[in-house]
């Protein structure tokens, strides 16, 4: 089983206080960009891979999706997702390790996976599985940590000659990065951008859009703490079609 850091009490306590946890999709600065990658969900069958507290699943249901199958490894997050979801919503929450989950063939119109791929050990297996679970013409919309964010030995800004920068190194060295984020010892997988995109292509996907989380000047004015995201993108967002 993959590392279940989201059920670590210290991690979970910290995660729960993030804006994206407290405010849901509205607390995620990249959400407007991600939303623009999604097709109309009316009457669609949707799978949410790494659903967390279920903010996307509920949004999909409110947007008219016929059903949403939502998976996550974290018991605590699934419990909270259940609490936040009304009984009539067409959402099924299921605990699963995405590194081993299999889904029925051609069962969904839309697959969504937010900020999960950088935890998965076997990306090819996962992407191939998602491709098989989509109907022809279906869409896979994903976000993950950007390769320039996952790559460095030290995952923090540095000051040099009076200028702040992001110390990029080890970009070409794919594999585990151990980070102290909310709790010590969080294991992430660094992959290059080429690997991420070519894994989608090799699975049979067509790339429709590739975006990076660069906040607009207007977003920075409204939330000055986002300014550093213009210096180094934190997230990658991809829309791929079967």
Give the total residue count for the chain.
242
Q: Which of 206, 221, 222, 225 is close enough to bind its own copies by CB under 8 A? A: 206
Q: Which of 17, 18, 26, 170 is close enough to bind its own copies by CB under 8 A? A: 170
Q: Residue 134 is inside which H or E element, if any?
A: strand 134-145
- Write down the least CB distance from residue 29 to its own copies, Å: 13
- Write down the least CB distance from residue 226 to its own copies, Å: 10
Q: Which of 10, 43, 75, 173 is close enough to bind its own copies by CB under 8 A? A: 173
Can residue 211 be called a binding residue for its own copies (CB under 8 A)?
yes
| Cβ atoms of residues 104 and 84 within 8 Å | no
Which residues lie closer than 8 Å to 158 by C-beta, 6 or more apart? 164, 165, 166, 167
Can residue 230 be called a binding residue for its own copies (CB under 8 A)?
yes
* Other CB atoms within 10 A of residue 165 CB: 12
Can residue 231 be called a binding residue for its own copies (CB under 8 A)?
yes
Per-residue binder mask for its own copies (CB under 8 A), 142-161, x = binder: ------x---xxx---x-xx
From 77, 83, 82, select the one nearest 116 (Cα to Cα).
77
Can residue 215 be called a binding residue for its own copies (CB under 8 A)?
yes
Q: How far apart are CA 114 and CA 111, in angstroms?
A: 10
Q: How far apart are CA 71 and CA 126, in angstroms?
A: 13
Q: Which of 40, 97, 169, 221 is close enough to bind its own copies by CB under 8 A? A: 169
Q: Which of 100, 198, 204, 221 is close enough to bind its own copies by CB under 8 A? A: 198
**What secondary structure does DSSP assign to 24-41, as a single string?**
GGGG-TTHHHHHHHSPP-
Can residue 163 be called a binding residue for its own copies (CB under 8 A)?
yes
SS3 assignment, position 128 = helix
Q: Which of 32, 207, 221, 223 is close enough to bind its own copies by CB under 8 A? A: 207
Residues that bind its own copies (CB under 8 A): 148, 152-154, 158, 160-161, 163-173, 192-194, 197-198, 201, 206-212, 214-215, 229-233
């Amino acid at each position: 089983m993959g590392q279940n850091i989201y059920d670590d009490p210290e991690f979970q306590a910290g995660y729960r206080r993030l804006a994206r946890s407290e405010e849901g999709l509205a607390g995620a600065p990249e959400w407007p960009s991600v939303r623009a990658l999604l097709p109309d969900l009316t009457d669609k069958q949707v799978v949410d891979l790494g659903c967390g507290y279920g903010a996307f699943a509920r949004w999909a249901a409110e947007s008219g999706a016929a059903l949403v199958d939502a998976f996550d490894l974290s018991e605590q997050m699934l419990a909270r997702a259940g609490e936040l979801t009304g009984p009539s919503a067409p959402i099924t929450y299921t605990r699963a390790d995405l590194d081993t989950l299999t889904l029925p063939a051609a069962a969904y119109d839309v697959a969504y996976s937010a900020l999960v791929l950088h935890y998965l050990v076997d990306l090819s297996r996962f992407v191939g599985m998602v491709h098989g679970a989509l109907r022809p013409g279906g869409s896979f919309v994903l976000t993950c940590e950007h390769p320039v964010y996952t790559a460095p030995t030290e995952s923090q800004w540095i000051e040099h000659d009076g200028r702040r920068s992001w110390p990029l190194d080890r970009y070409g060295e794919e594999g585990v990065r151990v980070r102290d984020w909310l709790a010590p010892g969080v294991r992430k997988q660094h992959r290059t951008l080429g690997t991420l995109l070519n894994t989608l292509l090799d699975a049979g996907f067509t790339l429709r859009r590739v975006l990076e989380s660069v906040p607009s000047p207007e977003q920075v004015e409204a939330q000055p703490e986002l300014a550093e995201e213009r210096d180094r993108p934190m997230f990658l967002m991809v829309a791929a079609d079967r």
